[in-house]
Amino acid sequence: MGYMPKICVITGDGIGKEVVPETLRVLNEVHDFEYIEAHAGYECFKRCGESIPESTIQTAKNSDSILFGSVTTPKPTELKNKPYRSPILTLRQELDLYANIRPTYNFKDLDFVIIRENTECLYVKREYYDEINEVAIAERIISKKGSERIIKFAFEYARLNNRKKVSCIHKANVLRVTDGLFLEIFEKIAKLYENFGISSNDYLIDATAMYLIKNPYMFDVMVTTNLFGDILSDEAAGLIGGLGMSPSANIGDNLGLFEPVHGSAPDIAGKGISNPIATILSASMMLDHLKMNKKAEIIRNAVKKTINNGYLTPDLGGSLKTSEVVNKVIEFIRDEI
Q: What is the pLDDT of residues 93-111, one digit of tens each?
A: 999 999 999 999 999 999 9
* CA–CA gap between residue 309 and residue 87 (Å, rounded): 36
Question: Domain range for residue 189?
Answer: 112-238
* CA–CA gap between residue 150 and residue 170 (Å, rounded): 14
Confidence band of 62 (pLDDT split at 50, 70, 90): very high
Last residue of a domain, one of 215, 238, 261: 238
Q: Convert the pLDDT of each residue in 34-44 to its tens digit.
A: 999 999 999 99
**In the sheet where 6-12 sits, what is the strand order?**
34-37, 6-12, 65-70, 256-260, 247-251, 99-105, 111-117, 221-224, 165-170, 199-204
**Residues 198 and 289 occupy one common structural domain:** no
**Residues 229 and 260 occupy one common structural domain:** no
Please, are residues 249 and 101 in contact by the beta-carbon 8 Å criterion?
Answer: yes
Confidence band of 76 (pLDDT split at 50, 70, 90): confident
Last residue of a domain, one of 223, 238, 253: 238
**Residues 225 and 301 occupy one common structural domain:** no
The per-residue pLDDT for 306 is 98
**Residues 152 and 231 occupy one common structural domain:** yes
**Residues 93 and 122 occupy one common structural domain:** no
- CB-CB neighbours of 145 under 10 Å: 10
**Residues 156 and 271 occupy one common structural domain:** no
**Residues 180 and 326 occupy one common structural domain:** no
**Residues 117 and 223 occupy one common structural domain:** yes
CA 260 to chain CA mean position, Å: 6
C-alpha Rg value of the chain to the nearest Å: 20
**Residues 95 and 1 occupy one common structural domain:** yes
Which residues, in sequence order, are bridge partners of residue 115?
101, 223
**Residues 306 and 160 occupy one common structural domain:** no
Whole-model pTM: value is: 0.93
Q: What is the mean pLDDT of the chain?
A: 96
Which CATH number characterizes residue 217's domain?
Answer: 3.40.718.10
Number of domains in the chain: 2
Last residue of a domain, one of 213, 238, 263: 238
Q: Convert the pLDDT of each residue in 269-297 to its tens digit.
A: 999 999 999 999 999 999 999 999 999 99
Q: What are phi and psi of 190, to 5 degrees?
A: -60, -35
Confidence band of 77 (pLDDT split at 50, 70, 90): confident
Q: What is the mean pLDDT of residues 26-36?
A: 97
Query: Above 60 in pLDDT, residue 173?
Result: yes
**Residues 16 and 44 occupy one common structural domain:** yes
* CA–CA gap between residue 195 and residue 75 (Å, rounded): 50
**Residues 159 and 199 occupy one common structural domain:** yes
